[in-house]
Structure 1
């Protein structure tokens, strides 16, 4: 019971990760690249000679909370957009174009917030020229580059929010490639992934994540799920208001509560019940109005409830 009320922090690693890149115009949104094939490595599993943090971004965090996420460069879905739809979509690129990159992580806790999604809309200066995207979709080219897509280092808080590491400003740049064959599919090649040799052939999206510990126990899970503001609203405002309503206007109830003796009042109530049972409705009404008259007059109520 004590441990349930007294929260202790335990590790909360990333269980699954996926990446998605969407192309959005005024005509709608198409998914270019998506993969759920991501390898997760904790810092303690890596070779001690591999330095993931040459700039010292991670020194303030527990090694057990740090993970390296390495994803396949090739998407796990095929490009199956019908030619007529693709042709219309290409025309809409002349008017507007946005590229949206998103990470999605699954963790065991907190309850109700197991899935964490981080989404970033690329700035205009980081987008390729619309003509470059049109050439890839029309088949005259096979790739285009997008800049400053997402931060290499970030952390997932205990409450399920994604934050940049305070001092880390390095962003990832990569190439989107449309592969042709019996089927077509997109690939995302992280042009800086070669700097981290531990990913091996996984040259797709790569990130170093700090998944913060979460408290366990009743109080800990409540704090993780609702945050301190949710706890304040629930207990201080809701429970406090309920207690205040129960204790409000106590002075108005003093004449009707804690009476010295209620035997006479109970006798009148029993007589009302007996008259009703015998069908003496006129007698019942007379007794009822006598009882009402007593309660309307504090003086009469005091006289009828005096002790012997």
Structure 2
């Protein structure tokens, strides 16, 4: 487009012909040879390419007609400005509203047109012509539909012009609220398709690993949904949280009791873990990690996986934690070789202890408190968090309590887990030896509303209402500063001066171009001269 505009301004038919031939060759080479190889699609199967080629052929036909007919001898301004009707005025406004179109035209015209003006003076002349053209269109409209002096403005004009702007401003104020309300009603459910749970002691290999699939993730039943609401009926905070979700947004995840993977740990690492557990000084942390995955589609906007971690501190100073550390250590087992005298009572006790470690005969389980949260909020994007408003407030703690044991079958070892059942919870009356977790899954907006709702109500007001409000404010304020340049009774002489400037420029009269430009600038620098130049002239009687 830029090259074509430059050739047009230079009026070079030879350059236009060469450019047209090159464009025909390049377009056909691209459409029929290069593009099919790049995207592996034939031209007949590529609808967008066919549409683009259709419009390009229309351009080739018009360009060929232009080469045959020749360029105009004079290029005087914009083709839209040949008439002063209200239709031309509307097209002129639309043309000016197109981003960078006006700026590109001014720059290309200045570059490829013979002129003595600087870019700054060129811009001033173009701006004067554009402003005078708009005023001329309005003056012709007022002459075509005159308003008598002293006559009240018609109500239809008030309601169409003022009422339309009033409704527009009200719509701008309420638009963010309407958009947020629509986005809230157009949300779609976003349940997880899989869940991954891991128990890990410090830096060592995970003890328990389980990835649940769709058969272990079920929407909460009507009966359990009713029980859940009845359980927190008297808790205002919990009831408010539950009411923000629908029944299909709550998923019950059942974690089987046995780990899905064996506990493969090397003997040196197992010995290191054993030493850390029986040490009275080393602190051991039990890490409970959970994450949730989704099957994304084209209509939802959400993260493919969200998760979180929870740490249980096994403090060697606490008697209960110290007992749990020693119990897990016994389950792990270890081997240690040392020369012990059977006659020495202390050595005899150590011999018996080492025998238990080598034999791995301890088959008990250990109780761990507050491991997994029973209620988890799964957001669309971000980190899954426990629902604190739903956590039980009793002497058993806030999180689920589990029993953890090491199972063996020959040389294979794996960990098992089950939930410690307490009475009094209507949702846990029929618990099986597995862990149950309830996830509250935030609904997501469709792609239609996601770009807007992501800003929030405050972001929309800042980015839309304030920006549009400032543009509207320009219409209702600051007009007094420009009244001397917008309320011209007659702009015919200014337009004629601009047209004369274009004519002498096309004729190569550069000195006369400078003189007319200086006269035009002088008019706008002298308000008194401008008033005389733009008023209607009184005709003599003999005329």
TM-score with structure 2 setting the length: 0.42
Q: Paired residue for 2:392? A: 168
State the distance in 1 between where 2:517 and 2:204 align: 74
State the distance in 2 between where 1:24 and 1:295 align: 83
Q: Point out the structure with the larger strand share.
A: 1
Is contact 2:371-2:401 (8 Å) kept?
A: yes
Is contact 1:15-1:105 (8 Å) kept?
A: yes
Q: Paired residue for 1:149? A: 371
Q: Paired residue for 1:57? A: 232
Do the aligned partners of residues 100 and 158 (structure 1) sit closer, same or farther apart at CA in structure 2, a change above 3 Å counting? closer
Correspondent of 2:501 among 272, 287, 291 = 272
How many matched pairs? Answer: 296
State the distance in 1 between where 2:482 and 2:276 align: 73
Is contact 1:110-1:159 (8 Å) kept?
A: no
Report 1:156-305 matches (<5 A). 156=378, 162=385, 163-166=387-390, 168-169=392-393, 170-179=398-407, 185-192=414-421, 196=428, 200=432, 203-211=433-441, 226=454, 230-246=455-471, 247-248=473-474, 250-251=478-479, 252-257=481-486, 259-305=488-534
What is the aligned-residue RMSD (CA, Å)?
4.9
Is contact 1:75-1:186 (8 Å) kept?
A: yes
State the distance in 1 between where 2:439 and 2:232 align: 11
Q: Paired residue for 1:72? A: 256
Is contact 2:291-2:307 (8 Å) kept?
A: yes
Per-residue CA shift, 1:18-60, capped at 9, x if unaligned? 13335475xx6865433222512334376x8x99659713795
Q: Paired residue for 1:120? A: 310
Gaps of 5+ in 2: 1-177, 335-356, 538-543
State the distance in 2 between where 1:95 and 1:134 align: 14
Q: Point out the structure with the larger helix share.
A: 2
- 1:76 to partner: Cα distance: 3.4
* Deviates most, 171-180 or 206-215: 206-215
Q: 2:185 matched to 1:8?
A: yes
Higher-Rg structure is 2
State the distance in 2 between where 1:88 and 1:20 align: 24
State the distance in 2 between where 1:267 and 1:206 align: 86
Q: Paired residue for 2:211? A: 36
Q: Paired residue for 1:21? A: 198
Q: 2:284 matched to 1:102?
A: no
Is contact 1:178-1:187 (8 Å) kept?
A: yes
| Higher RCO structure, 1 or 2 (CA under 8 Å, sep 6+) | 1
- 1:179 to partner: Cα distance: 4.9
Per-residue CA shift, 1:98-156, capped at 9, x if unaligned? 52432425487962356443443335669955666666666557865432123323555
State the distance in 2 between where 1:36 and 1:57 align: 30
TM-score with structure 1 setting the length: 0.66
Is contact 1:8-1:217 (8 Å) kept?
A: no
Is contact 1:149-1:171 (8 Å) kept?
A: yes
State the distance in 2 between where 1:51 and 1:245 align: 51
- 1:236 to partner: Cα distance: 0.9
